[in-house]
Amino acid sequence: MLVTGMSQSRLIGSIALVTWLLVAIPVLLYHVPDGSLGWRWPVVYLSFGALFALDLRRPHLLLLASGSAAAIYLVLLRCNGYEGALLALIAMQLGTRMRRPTGIAWILGQTLLLGIASSMAFNPHAARLLLPPYLGLQLVAFFVFDVMARGNLARAALAASNTELRGVAQILADTSRMAERLRISHEMHDALGHHLTALSLNLEAALQLTQGAAHSSVEKAQSVARRLLSDVREIVAESRAGDGINLAEALRMLVGSVPRPQIHLDIPDGLRTPDPERAHTLLRCAQEIVTNAARHSQAANLWISVRCEAGTLRIEARDDGRGSEHADGGFGIRGMRERVAQAGGELRVVTQPGRGFEVTALLPVRGGLT
């Protein structure tokens, strides 16, 4: 079964909710009826749930660390001893965010603190009995979600490569057609045009040397030669005018195979550019925008608009994902910024937590747009 980033988040939330509620059942059955619960355990217990829920919406390691501390403090309150199961929820989140050595070190550290808390709340013998199963539970949770996260990354990378290949294939096909049309138009202009010009000049000379019916026939032949030369020039001009990379088709091929987010593409039909380098830059920018929305922003919808303004391509994109505190983003955003700058363009990124990403790229195009 394939688990996407969004469904993985929902899965973690569902497991966390069930586990969190199960930890409270012994308290409700044994401590509430006899009045021995007190107020501190419910407050810390609810705090753990609030911290975990907040971390699901806006991931931050400080929230996870606070949740881990809350779970260990629950053990110190000597209520039921099952609060250590909450550390497995922390381990699930670590599996989706940390490298294995760092995540395992975190788990070992919080397990050691759990052992100290159990020894203080109960006795060392109880701590020795509790630690192995709780450590095993945390490691299982960590590696299950670590493998799921790696699988998601691999599928996202494969999808990104596939979409890039589809778009690049379209650009290469258009570039090949442009080269062939250019070769044919040069041949028509240089060879056929030259011969027709020479024929017209020879007929002009013959027109001066003939009279009567022959003169009329030569005059007609000269008129036909001139029309043929004019037709050849018109055909060459139309062929060059219709040349260029079909940006609309290339972008539609790129976004057509992306299952999530849902992409709303707004681009004029038949928008072309004779500049393959800028077309490829546009394609890579669009690919990075899609990858960022799917992998990092976890957006459900992505809107992309492409317009041409005075020889400049304007790409505007926005998503409804979770956004970020930093507009610079990761390597993908920085790479896109460098790529646009190398093309002589400008990239602007606006983002806030809970408000998604807004990206605007301006790309000057050599040879204009059609």
Identify any residues that bridge with 319 across adjacent strands, giving them in sequence order: 302
Measured CA to CA, the distance from residue 338 to residue 238 in angstroms comes to 36
- State whether 31 and 134 are in the same domain: yes
Structural element, H or E, at residue 349: strand 346-351
Better-predicted residue by pLDDT, 105 or 267: 105
pLDDT for residue 330 = 63
Q: What is the CATH number of the domain that holds 299?
A: 3.30.565.10
**Do 202 and 266 share a domain, yes or no?**
no
Is 14 within a domain?
yes
316 lies in a domain?
yes
DSSP string, 222-257: HHHHHHHHHHHHHHHHHHHHT-SEEHHHHHHHHHHT
pLDDT more than 90, % of the chain: 9
- Assign 68 to helix, strand or coil: helix
Q: Check residues 77 and 222 and name the one with the higher pLDDT.
A: 77
Amino acid identity, position 103: G
What mean pLDDT comes out for the span 270-275? 71
Q: Which of 138, 155, 172 is the last residue of a domain?
A: 155
Residue 30 lies in a domain: yes
Phi-psi region of 20 (alpha: psi -120 to 50; beta: other; left: phi over 0): alpha
Residue 79: the pLDDT is: 67
**Do 38 and 141 belong to one domain?**
yes
Q: Rounded to two decimals, what is the model's pTM?
A: 0.55
Q: Indicate if 77 and 127 belong to the same structural domain.
A: yes
| pLDDT average, residue stretch 358-362 | 87
User: 36 and 98: one domain?
Assistant: yes
* Inside any domain, residue 345: yes
Residue at a domain's end among 211, 241, 271:
241
What type of residue is 23? V
Same domain? 29 vs 15: yes
Residue 131 has pLDDT above 60, yes or no: yes
Residues forming beta bridges with residue 360, ordered by sequence position? 316, 348
Indicate whether 165 belongs to any domain: no
Closest CA relative to residue 257, chosen from 364, 167, 329, 133? 167
Q: Name the CA dihedral angle for 162, 168, 170, 175, rounded to a multiple of 10 degrees.
A: -160
Phi, psi dihedrals of residue 366, rounded to the nearest 5°: -70, 135
236 and 295 part of one domain: no
**Domain boundary residue among 139, 155, 171?**
155
Least confident of 94-108, 179-193, 247-261, 279-293: 179-193
Element holding 18 (H helix, E strand): helix 5-26
Report if residue 163 sits inside a domain: no
Work out the pLDDT band at 253, boundaries 50, 70, 90. confident
Instruction: Looking at the structure, tell me whether residues 252 and 202 fall in a common domain.
Output: no
Name 52's Cβ contacts closer than 8 Å, sequence gap at least 6.
16, 20, 63, 67, 89
The residue range of the domain holding 228 is 181-241
What is the C-alpha to C-alpha distance for residues 54 and 61, in angstroms, rounded to an integer? 11
Q: What is the dihedral of CA 317, 323, 326, 329, to 10 degrees?
A: -60
Residues in the chain: 370
- The proportion of the chain whose per-residue pLDDT surpasses 70, expressed as a percent, equals 75
What pLDDT is stored for residue 46 in this prediction?
A: 92
Instruction: Report pLDDT digits (tens) over 20-70.
Output: 888 888 777 776 666 667 788 889 989 998 998 888 877 888 988 999 999
303 and 259 together in one domain: yes
Q: How many domains does the chain have?
A: 3
Question: Bridge-partner residues for 303, per DSSP?
Answer: 264, 318
Asked whether residue 92 is domain-assigned, the answer is: yes
Residue showing tokens 């095993």: 136
- In terms of pLDDT, which residue wins out, 110 or 178? 110
Residue 174 belongs to what H/E stretch? helix 124-187
State yes or no: pLDDT of 240 exceeds 70. no
Model confidence over 308-359: pLDDT tens digits?
Answer: 777 788 888 888 887 777 666 666 778 888 888 888 888 888 887 777 888 8
Do the strands 357-364 and 346-351 form a parallel or antiparallel pair, or are they unpaired?
Answer: antiparallel
Give the pLDDT of residue 1. 41
pLDDT band at 107 (very low <50, low <70, confident <90, very high): very high
Here the tokens at position 100 are 């294995």
The answer to whether 305 and 318 are in contact (CB under 8 A) is no
In the sheet where 357-364 sits, what is the strand order? Answer: 262-266, 301-309, 312-319, 357-364, 346-351
Number of neighbours of residue 132 by Cβ within 10 angstroms: 10
Question: Is residue 287 predicted with pLDDT exceeding 90?
Answer: no
In a domain, 164, yes or no: no
Based on the fold, state whether residues 195 and 113 are members of the same structural domain.
no
How much is the average pLDDT of 264-279?
77
pLDDT tens sequence across 146-192: 888 888 777 766 766 666 666 666 666 666 665 666 566 666 656 66
Amino acid in position 292: N
Residues 32 and 127 in one domain: yes
Check whether residue 233 and residue 144 sit in a common domain.
no
Burial class (CB in 10 A: 0-12, 13-18, 19+), 292: buried
DSSP state of 83: G
| Cα distance between residue 334 and residue 369, in whole Å | 27
337 vs 218, higher pLDDT: 337
| Helix (H) or strand (E) run with residue 201 in it | helix 193-209
